[in-house]
Amino acid sequence: MLAALSALLASCKRVEAEAQTAGATVGILVNPDPDPLIGDTKAADYSASASEKKITDYTILFFADRADGDVTLIKSGKPGKTSPLTFSLGGVSYDSYRVYAVCNCGDLVKGVKTEKELLALAVDLPAYNSHDDLIMIGYADLEVNSETASTTINVRRLVSRVSIRTVTNKLSQDLTLKAAYLTNVVGNQVLGETASASTWYNRYGLTEVPTSDIEGHTITTSTGCEPAVKTIGSSVEAGASTTLSECYLYCYPNTLATRQADQYEEGTAFSPTATYVVLEAVAATDGKTRYYQFPLSYNAEDKRKMFGIEGALDANHAYSVDVTIKTLGSEKITDLTTDGFLTVTITVIDWNTSSGVQTFEM
């Protein structure tokens, strides 16, 4: 009897070992965006667009040993569809995993061997983000202890999105909106979202004025950081409003909420500072380009604050901006718009949790 029982136990262990050797089949769902809700209503104005949800390419990485973070399985592909992405992987060994999904990264993660190495990979803003697709990353912890398992990985974008939603013209003359863009744009980040700002784009609008650098920071001299620039070309009649379609601007999070006093003094060294929005408009009467520049954040202790959201720009958040123009703007990009020029309303939402819906009117 004991011999029969021992044989049965040995057979069970052998079957279990064979199953583990063959591996499990793991179903994976990569979800780039739960639809934002405000109350029980879908917030279409704030949800991610098709291009912001698009998965052009993906890499899935399984890390089994969390102490060393060694990768045990990698799968890459090009799904040829928008989102969400679903597929199955066979031959996965029984173990505890942290499973990462990195989307729209090209060959960035090729050759990665550890979790630490993955999270330290640098992702320059215009190199890995555009108006066509955005780099995304997410992970889920997964226990594989049977023949089948499944998990959902909610991926998030590393960028903040600023959307110019409506422009109202309170002037007695028509305006033509030429473009919108961000200045003082943080251009560097790593997949683990732990990098300190060290690369800055669009210091002086689209064509930057060469200035002396400061230690540890790089100032670009390009003609604009593509993800942070959008051509408009819409007219707004006197006393009327216009709704802009997908006027989206992208930047990496900026923890700075106050403007450096000498930021726009030509010839001065650049100082890291808050991110600003610039609207370019042409007045009908004189045909001159006017600039309306305002911050997206401010420090409550800063008495020079104008409009904006107290605090910093956060990753994977949408900032929807409604602007009312009350007077002609400045003819110089270096001038900051003062209180009497504009009224700005900003609505903020976290894309993945649909929480934190806040509206600020300045």
Instruction: Please give the average per-residue pLDDT across 255-278, as a whole number.
Output: 66
**Tens of pLDDT, residues 341-359:** 788 888 888 776 655 555 5
DSSP 14: H
Within 184-240, strands assigned E span 185-186, 199-201, 218-219, 229-236
Burial of 91 (0-12, 13-18, 19+ CB in 10 A): exposed
pLDDT of residue 16: 43
**Tens of pLDDT, residues 80-99:** 665 678 888 889 999 999 99
Written as one string, the DSSP assignment of 26-70 is EEEEEES-PPPEETTEE-TTTSPPHHHH-BS-EEEEEEEETTTTE
pLDDT of residue 35: 53
Q: Which residue has the tokens 């991610």?
A: 48
pLDDT of residue 361: 52
- With CA atoms as reference, report the closest residue to 256 among 276, 281, 279: 276
Specify whether the CB–CB gap between 330 and 290 falls below 8 A.
yes
Whole-number percent of the chain with pLDDT over 90? 35
Position with higher pLDDT, 53 vs 186: 186
d(CA 229, CA 148): 46
Position with higher pLDDT, 126 vs 310: 126
Burial of 321 (0-12, 13-18, 19+ CB in 10 A): buried
Amino acid at 121: L
Written as one string, the DSSP assignment of 254-305 is ----S--TTTT-TTSPP-----EEEEEEEETTT--EEEEEEESEE-TT-TT-
Domains of the chain with CATH codes: 24-157 (2.60.40.2580), 160-361 (2.60.40.3690)
Q: Which helix (H) or strand (E) holds 322?
A: strand 317-325
**Tens of pLDDT, residues 286-319:** 899 888 888 776 555 554 444 455 567 888 888 8
Instruction: Please give the average per-residue pLDDT across 161-169, as a whole number.
Output: 94
Global confidence as pTM: 0.82
pLDDT of residue 354: 57
Instruction: Please give the average per-residue pLDDT across 198-214, as a whole number.
Output: 57
- Of 137-146, 190-199, 302-311, which gets the smallest average pLDDT? 302-311
Number of neighbouring beta carbons within 10 Å of residue 81 = 11
pLDDT higher than threshold 80 for residue 277: yes
Mean pLDDT computed over every residue of the chain: 77
- With CA atoms as reference, report the closest residue to 209 among 268, 131, 149, 152: 268
pLDDT higher than threshold 60 for residue 7: no
Written as one string, the DSSP assignment of 71-108 is EEEEEEE--SB-S-EEEEEEEEPSEEEEEEEEES-TTT
- With CA atoms as reference, report the closest residue to 77 among 99, 92, 104, 59: 59
pLDDT higher than threshold 70 for residue 276: yes
